[in-house]
Structure 1
Amino acid sequence: MADQEEPCGAKRQQIIDGAEIVFTECGYEGASMSRIALRASVSKGTLYNYFTGKSELFAAFVEQKATVTLSQVFEPLDGQDDMATTLHKIGLRMVDVVLSPGSLVLYRIVVSEAGKFPQLAQIYWTNGPERAIAQMSAWLAQQMQAGRLREVDPAFAAEQFFALCQTRYGMKRRLQLILEISAEDVEMVVAGAVRLFLDSYSPSPSAKPLATLNTRS
């Protein structure tokens, strides 16, 4: 198979795009480098010039996917909204990401094959949940330093917030017990998560949430 001359970045992206299709269709164990090369329309020699093996290619695929999605999830951190509004926007975006078809496929690949390939779980955790927790906890730490939240472990608070946003629907969606979740249901869960989070972490135990939100951004 002859490869046309392309910039290195474009060729690498072409390979990752092909790998995503094969991993989605075949899982990790069933995805061979030969199949990925065929799907990406490159020779095996070219494939190995960019990636030493399937594990490295899977890591590149997961890292890229996480970079794109997390930048979208945490975009509200750059805005001027109050804390409750920012939490609400992040919660909605996080639910959209973690319960999207592509994210669910990736999650199921890792869970089903981590027993044979334990490195998959570490790749997934490092590039996805761990990065999300770190980014969220850094912002929460700023809110704590500003006196808007109680001084607690910000990483623990971040994990709690993400878990609250997936109440009722997260596990059922992963198990395919429900196939669709309405925007209204997601709104209800996230709004409740924000209220409960702020009730728990406001400087005064009796403090009320900063805002009641009914808009989806």
Structure 2
Amino acid sequence: MASQKRKQEKADPVPAGRFAAGADPAKREQIIEGAKAVFMRLGFDAASMNDITREAGVSKGTIYVYFENKEALFGAIVAQEKERITHQMRDILAGSEEVEDGLYRFGMGFTSHITAPQVIDAMRTVIGVVDRLPRLCQHFFNSPSQNVRTVLEEFIERHIELGNLKVDDKELAARQFIDMSSATFFKARLFGDLLDVPPEHELSRAVKGAIRVFMAAYGTHDASVIAKVPEPA
């Protein structure tokens, strides 16, 4: 009889207004925010699940309902941030009718993001665990559904169809533009050679130079129109 009652309880639907175990988005976000603060403060290796439960204000039982371990938590933080910047870059490009304008907006937005302190800290954390957690690091760089490069490839494809670009390999072209726009500043920030976020005029100079090279290789009209791209407000 008791066994039958337990089976019935398991079969009963979750009451209206309540979430099933591990399905409350607000609680999940609360845990992620707590984990983010702990990882940024202590680093990945020094952080413990106990530290995260205290920071997030949840019980240990609750945190394990949502995340198996701190690797899964770090992966969730990475995925959330990649999704955020991907949506941001897609919104930036959505309103760009001219190739050069879109590339400029994309380059400035992405380079500002990739050189920000919190992103540099996250990158250093990933590098620190690459030997022990290679799959986590691969996800950090290669998740196709949340990849900024994919957004740029879509933009390039649109302008190929409009006759503004002639590109045989969209992936390669997107990688080249991203690296030309951000590589020097990003590497300098990552390895501590550049301690502060680059000033906007320096980012602008680098992005404009990247556009000139990109358009010289792939453009179908005079690349000098880059001079018409407005400076950021």
Taking the TM superposition and a 5 Å limit, the aligned residue runs for 1:67-216 are 67-127=83-143, 131-180=147-196, 181-203=198-220, 207-212=222-227, 213-216=229-232
Q: Report if the CA contact (8 A) 1:167-1:189 is conserved.
A: no
Q: How does 1:42-57 map to 2 (within 5 A)?
A: 42-57=58-73
Cα distance change, pair 129–166 in 1 and its aligned pair in 2 (3 A): farther
**Residue 29 in 1 paired to residue 59 in 2?**
no
Q: Supply the distance in 1 between the matched residues of 2:123 and 2:184 (Cα, whole angstroms).
A: 18
Q: Distance in 2 between matches of 1:128 and 1:188?
A: 30
1:126-185 CA-partner distances (Å, limit 9, x unpaired): 348971111211221121122211131101100000001025322111111112211111
Residue of structure 2 equivalent to 1:10: 26
Aligned partner letter, 1:119: R
Contact 2:164 2:219 in 1 (8 A): yes
Q: Is the 8 A contact 2:85 2:148 kept in 1?
A: no
Structure 2 unaligned segments of length 5 or more: list them. Answer: 1-17
**Paired residue total:** 211
Match of 1:3 in 2: none
The amino acid that maps onto 1:109 is: T
1: CA distance between counterparts of 2:76 and 2:104? 30
Question: Cα RMSD over matched residues?
Answer: 2.2
Structure showing greater Rg:
2
Q: Percent of pairs identical after alignment? A: 27
| 3-state SS, counterpart of residue 211 of structure 1 | helix
Q: Distance in 2 between matches of 1:37 and 1:49?
A: 12
Deviation at 1:120, TM superposition (A): 2.4
Structure 1 unaligned regions, length at least 5: 1-5
The whole-number CA distance in structure 1 between the counterparts of 2:67 and 2:212 is: 46
Tell me how far apart the structure 2 counterparts of residues 201 and 91 of structure 1 sit (CA, whole Å). 17
Taking structure 2 as the reference length, what is the TM-score of the superposition? 0.83
* Paired residue type of 2:158: Q
Would the aligned equivalents of 1:199 and 1:209 in 2 still touch at CA under 8 Å?
A: no
Shift of 1:34: 1.4
Distance 1:167 1:54 in 2: 30
Distance 1:95 1:49 in 2: 37
